[in-house]
Structure 1
Amino acid sequence: MNSIAATPMYPDDDTLIPRFREAGDVTLDLFHRDGRVDDRWLGFHPREFELLWRLAQQPGQRMSRRELLADVWRIDYEPETNSVAVHVARVRSKLGPFGLSSILATHPEGGYYLDAPANPGSFRIKSGTE
């Protein structure tokens, strides 16, 4: 079994991990390990959620395939699969009905980034009265 040393993305013992993280108009919920747009859940699978959660940690910053494999898949080698690209496509397809698939962008130099502003603390659910 390969072990990867904890990276700085893991907080110290006295740091709380936020329950919610914003990815543009998508609210990611760590407790439910899913995302929602307004009041509709997206139905992410665990790796899809982790992929978007990781990219939302640093919006606009490119992450290479290797970095994503290390941070999301927790492996330190390059598998001969297109697993990252497949998960990116799945996330985009779930964001598509909301017109948000473009927030998960492919970087020209390779890798991916979240092309959406960070909106800390803006968790919202639309009610029927809005």
Structure 2
Amino acid sequence: MSIRTQYPGGEAVPVRFREAGDVTLDLAHHDGRVDDCWLGLNTHEFTLLWRLAEQPGACISRQLLLPDVWRLPCATDHRTLSDHVDQMRDRLKPFGLDNLIAADRDGGYFLNLRFMTGVR
């Protein structure tokens, strides 16, 4: 998972913000907000949403998400991943964004482009 952007001249500058639809992720606060309301994401929820926002619309398999988010060498427990997705959906529901994170038939997750800003 990359948190750096390459700029002209070759220097890498850390990226502080990433957009996930109407959610602004803030790396410094390790949280997300909708407008002025912080979501109170835990570390795994934040990292998962940051990772999905890195490639909006691209389905990322459970086998890739577990090492990226939990730093586990192999996919061991998909239930924990689905629990965190459910918790994030609950946090996003008051904003009408509970469908921002979608699952595919094989257990991967992606940001649902229909709920991304400017795509509705």
TM-score (norm 2): 0.83
Distance in 2, Cα, partners of 1:118 & 1:71? 25
Q: Which residue of 2 aligns with 1:63?
A: 60
Contact 2:57 2:112 in 1 (8 A): yes
Which of residues 38, 42, 46 in structure 2 aligns to 1:41?
38
Distance change (3 Å), C-alpha of 1:40 and 1:63: same
Contact 2:67 2:75 in 1 (8 A): no
Task: Report matched runs for 1:1-130 at 5 Å.
Answer: 9=2, 11=4, 14-80=11-77, 82-116=79-113, 117=116
Cα offset, 1:10, TM superposition? 5.9
Q: Higher RCO, 1 or 2 (CA under 8 Å, sep at least 6)?
A: 1
Letter in 2 for 1:68: L
Contact 2:3 2:15 in 1 (8 A): no
Distance in 1, Cα, partners of 2:63 & 2:3? 18
| Structure 2 unaligned spans of 5+ | none
Cα offset, 1:16, TM superposition? 1.6
Distance in 2, Cα, partners of 1:37 & 1:99? 11
Letter in 1 for 2:49: L
Cα offset, 1:118, TM superposition? 7.1
TM-score (norm 1): 0.77
Distance in 1, Cα, partners of 2:78 & 2:104? 19
Distance in 1, Cα, partners of 2:87 & 2:101? 11
Q: Quick check: which one's strand share is greater?
A: 2
Contact 2:61 2:108 in 1 (8 A): yes
Q: Quick check: which one's helix share is greater?
A: 2
Percent identity over paired residues: 48
Q: CA RMSD in A?
A: 2.1
